[in-house]
Chain A
Amino acid sequence: MIAFVFPGQGSQRRGMGQGLFDDVREYAAVEKEVDALLGYSLRKLCLEDTDNRLKETQFTQPCLYVVNALHYYTAVAQGVQPAYLAGHSLGEYNALLAAGVFDFLTGLRLVKKRGELMSQAKNGAMAAVIGLGASLITKVIDENRLASLDVANFNSPSQIVVSGPTDDIKRAGPFFEKGGARMYMPLQVSAAFHSRYMADAAKAFAGFLAPISLAPPKIPIIANVTARPYPAVNPSESIKSLLVNQIVQSVQWTQSIRFLISQGVTEFREMGPGNVLTKSVQQIQKEKDS
């Protein structure tokens, strides 16, 4: 049984989408509209990135959304059919697209807005704690007056990301290291994503989503926020609610992959640039076997 997994911010790189922009028929038909909507040539930004802007979230999100989609269309053209879909943060929008919840351009509008709102958040940072389990991370937070930090992403059994005010993220490093972390790796992001500090962005996004109608998913999607499939009941409202919550809540990636394994998924295919998710899935599978 196959699942498609779509990567999020962090997987972008100059040169992504190379060859796909021209090969994928679906893109040729919409490229002009994409560039008109964004106000720049997406292809050029992905392939050249002359001003080094690809890492800024208001650009990362639409670019990654499109490139992930190109990878997906290529797989579909080869006849591959997934039983489940999941995406990491931004990648969840590609999962929704693949499930037919919205069309390509609507999805692009959503991630463009999401990127803009997230880029407006300030004074926050994130860091990856390597080699320390969730309960020990909580212990370090509790024992060292680091309660301003939220646990943002459960990326793998040995990689958990914390999110919070810039100064607190900075000073937390030695505490995690003393607590047993192998590495404390600050991430190159501009704000405390997936934390309580994104409340304003989430509220604004909810307002943006309100008038948009969404179709029920044709393939089950595992939501970051619940690590379970999107509910079948009242799909339009429940999908919007989950997407809004995703901005302020942690990405339960490890839990999502474990759930998929328990449902019989044996093969995870990464639909996007690089292999960050493939590596995380391997680690999750390895831990399960040990």
Chain B
Amino acid sequence: MDWNMTSRDVQSPVLESVFMFSGQGSQYFQMGRELFDKNETFHDWMLRLDGIVCELSGNSVIDALYSPAHGKGDVFDQILLTHPAIFMVEYSLAQTLMQAGVWPDMVLAVSLGSFAAAAVAGFIAVEDALTAVMRQAIAFEEWCQPGGMIAILADPALFAEDFLGSRSELAAVNFSSHFVVSARQTELTEIEAALKQHNTNYQRLPVGFPFHSHWIDEAKEPFEPFMRSIRRKEGQLPLACCDQATIVPGLADDYFWNVVRHPIRFRETTARLEQQGARRYIDVGPSGTLSTFLKYGMPAHSKSIVHPILTPYGFDQKNLAAVLASVRN
């Protein structure tokens, strides 16, 4: 496997496909519902994965995720459900694409999405990945203080301002006018008030913990021994890791901790990939957020194609058909 990807001929009609996997904050109730109801492959994989979660935790994710009592607008932030739910939707969507003939040449891993990305790339068995997801969720739930994350629609340089820098940690840099900060529960309202005063747009993410900050460090020790014992396999695909901002040759021992603890370097990672040449980026996350970040972040002359599939707006099947059509042409 040649890990040093060389610049590709941008006139080549066949673009390499990159599946992008997003993390906590991109989830919502009923996500993937249209595909669950109408796509057999997606449906079957969701059930299979739900079965594993049931055996591990006694609870069904699907029961909660697709319950008629929960609408898209309701906040879906209980980590014991959202952690596996995000994994399940991403992995099932990846399988759906592959079954339809769209195969990834690379995976791009963002935070929690790194688990599904690693499984799809062949570095870890899906059952082991899902078990790791559950173990991590339990560690956060049991050991961490509540906190949150705020997406800020501004130049990441704003983080240097005291009202942010002294109260929060930089969780992600997504493109030139989008970054995310993490803070303890007590600080969130004040940060938002200051942002309002500063006339800056922001959005609170549906998460209950300040991921990507030192305030989740209490969960490391309970999670670590298990993480080191996960069976690793020989990977089949290159994995672009937004923690390392590069393509990694394998999963480091503390990979599954680092990806949720260190800042997300999405802008940096995708810039590097873009330097190598055009690609087809397919967002397999629940919200299509990564495809949005990429569209805004790509250089103007880029020949890359970017596809969202799942979004809260309900065009899942249409978007999926568009990807298939694009790949075949």
Contact = CB atoms under 8 A, between A and B. Distances in A.
Interface of A: 10, 13-15, 128, 130, 155, 158-159, 170, 173-174, 177-178, 182-186, 274, 276, 279
B142 A186 contact: yes
Interface stretch (B52-60, B171-179, B298-306): B52-60
A226 B225 CA distance: 39
The 3 closest A-B pairs by CB, nearest first: A15-B69, A14-B69, A183-B56
B49 interface: no
Interface in B110-144: 131, 134-135, 138, 141-143
A184 to B, nearest CB: 7
B73 interface: no
Contacts of A186: 138, 141-142
A15 B67 contact: yes
Contact of B131 (A170, A173, A174, A182): A182
A13 B69 CA distance: 9
A149 B254 CA distance: 32
Given A185-B56, A274-B63, A178 B142 contact: no
B69 A185 contact: no
B104 to A, nearest CB: 30
Contacts of A155: 58
Contacts of B163: none
Interface of B: 54-58, 63, 67-69, 131, 134-135, 138, 141-143, 222, 225-226
Contacts of B68: 15
Contact of A128 (B58, B67, B143, B226): B58
B23 to A, nearest CB: 22
Nearest to B54: A279
29 contacts: A10-B58, A13-B63, A14-B67, A15-B67, A128-B57, A130-B57, A130-B58, A155-B58, A158-B55, A159-B58, A170-B142, A170-B143, A173-B142, A173-B222, A174-B222, A174-B225, A182-B56, A182-B131, A183-B56, A183-B57, A183-B131, A184-B138, A185-B57, A185-B58, A185-B138, A186-B138, A186-B142, A274-B63, A276-B58
Contacts of B58: 10, 128, 130, 155, 159, 185, 276
Given A130-B55, A182-B131, A274-B63, 10 more contacts: A14-B67, A15-B67, A15-B68, A128-B58, A159-B58, A170-B142, A174-B222, A183-B135, A185-B134, A276-B58
A177 B67 contact: no
B257 to A, nearest CB: 15
Given A13-B67, A130-B55, A185-B58, A177 B225 contact: yes
Chain A interface, DSSP helix/strand/loop, else mixed: mixed
Among B131, B134, B142, chain A packs the most CB atoms within 10 A around the CB of B142
Contact of B134 (A13, A15, A159, A183): A183
Contacts, number: 48
A130 B56 contact: yes
Contacts of A178: 225
Contacts of A183: 56-57, 131, 134-135, 138
A23 to B, nearest CB: 18
Task: Identify which of B58, B63, B67, B222 gathers the most chain A CB atoms within 10 Å of its CB.
Answer: B58
Contacts of A128: 57-58
A35 B98 CA distance: 54
Contacts of B143: 170
A14 B55 CA distance: 23
A182 B143 CA distance: 19
A181 to B, nearest CB: 10
Nearest to A173: B222
A178 B67 CA distance: 36
A155 B54 CA distance: 14
Contacts of B226: 177
A153 to B, nearest CB: 11
A173 B142 CA distance: 10
A2 B142 CA distance: 40
Nearest to A156: B58
Contacts of B55: 130, 158
A185 B54 CA distance: 12
Contacts of A274: 63
Nearest to B139: A173
Nearest to A10: B58
A40 B69 CA distance: 21
Nearest to A15: B69
B77 to A, nearest CB: 13
A155 B55 CA distance: 12
Contacts of B67: 13-15
A112 B226 CA distance: 42
A256 to B, nearest CB: 18
A217 B135 CA distance: 44
Contacts of B225: 174, 177-178
A130 B143 CA distance: 20
A155 B57 CA distance: 12
Contacts of B54: 279
Instruction: Name which of A178, A184, A185, A274 has the most chain B CB atoms within 10 A of its CB.
Output: A185
A246 B84 CA distance: 34
A14 B69 CA distance: 7
A160 to B, nearest CB: 11
Nearest to A178: B225
A274 B63 CA distance: 9
A189 to B, nearest CB: 13
Contacts of A184: 138
A184 B58 CA distance: 11
A116 to B, nearest CB: 26
